[in-house]
């Protein structure tokens, strides 16, 4: 008489085989990505600090620019209007005035009457930042 050996496949092995078959049989789907630009224009309130008060109204346009005296206000979630970043154009104006002496020089950032390394240090500290109020190299 012959012995018959029966091999039992465990359920975990069956699940692995089924998952592999699904991965082979089902094609991969690629999804398109999109970046949606939008804002919520709320407002209708007041913010204050010290002697300053800022009032918002519903429906005001976003990304607007306002200025008065030495103050500038850029509205919107992303800065808009004539956004000023200290960059190569400013450096070109700075270089034109390098080592000059006199009053009223736009690149004389420390007010010493001379465009020198002290001014260059201040300029470097502002590199790729938003221009300070009244930025003379605009």
The answer to whether 91 and 107 have CB atoms below 8 angstroms apart is: no
Question: Computed over its alpha carbons, how large is the radius of gyration of the chain?
Answer: 32
What's the rounded mean pLDDT across residues 115-132? Answer: 90
Name the residue with higher pLDDT: 8 or 49. 49
Which pTM does this prediction carry? 0.44
Burial status of residue 60 (CB atoms within 10 A of its CB: 0-12, 13-18, 19 or more): middle
Sketch out the chain's domains with CATH numbers. 72-138 (1.10.1330)
Give the pLDDT confidence score for residue 56 in this predicted structure: 63
Sign of CA dihedral 127, 85, 135, 68: negative
**N-term to C-term CA, the chain:** 102
The answer to whether 39 and 76 have CB atoms below 8 angstroms apart is: yes
Residue 78 pLDDT grade (very low, low, confident, very high; cuts 50, 70, 90): very low
The answer to whether 76 and 64 have CB atoms below 8 angstroms apart is: yes
Give the pLDDT confidence score for residue 129 in this predicted structure: 83
Name the residue with higher pLDDT: 121 or 10. 121
Residue 98 pLDDT grade (very low, low, confident, very high; cuts 50, 70, 90): very high
Instruction: List, for residues 14-64, the tens digit of each pLDDT value.
Output: 777 777 776 666 666 666 766 666 555 555 667 788 887 776 655 555 555
Q: Is it the case that residue 9 has pLDDT exceeding 80?
A: no
Tokens matching residue 135: 């930025």
Please give the Cα distance from 113 to 93 (Å, whole number). Answer: 17
What's the rounded mean pLDDT across residues 125-133? Answer: 85
Q: Is it the case that residue 82 has pLDDT exceeding 70?
A: no
């Amino acid at each position: 008489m012959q012995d018959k050996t029966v091999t039992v496949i465990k359920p975990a092995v069956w699940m692995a085989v089924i998952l592999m078959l699904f991965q082979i049989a089902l094609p991969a789907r690629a999804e398109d990505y999109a970046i949606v630009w939008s804002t919520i224009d709320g407002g209708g309130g007041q913010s204050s600090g010290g002697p300053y008060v800022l009032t918002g109204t519903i429906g005001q346009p976003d990304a607007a620019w306002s200025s008065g005296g030495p103050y500038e206000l850029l509205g919107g979630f992303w800065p808009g209007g004539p956004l000023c970043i200290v960059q190569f154009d400013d450096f070109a104006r700075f270089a034109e005035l390098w080592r000059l002496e006199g009053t009223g020089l736009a690149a004389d950032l420390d007010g010493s009457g001379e465009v020198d390394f002290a001014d260059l240090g201040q300029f470097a500290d502002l590199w790729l930042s938003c221009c300070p109020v009244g930025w003379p190299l605009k």
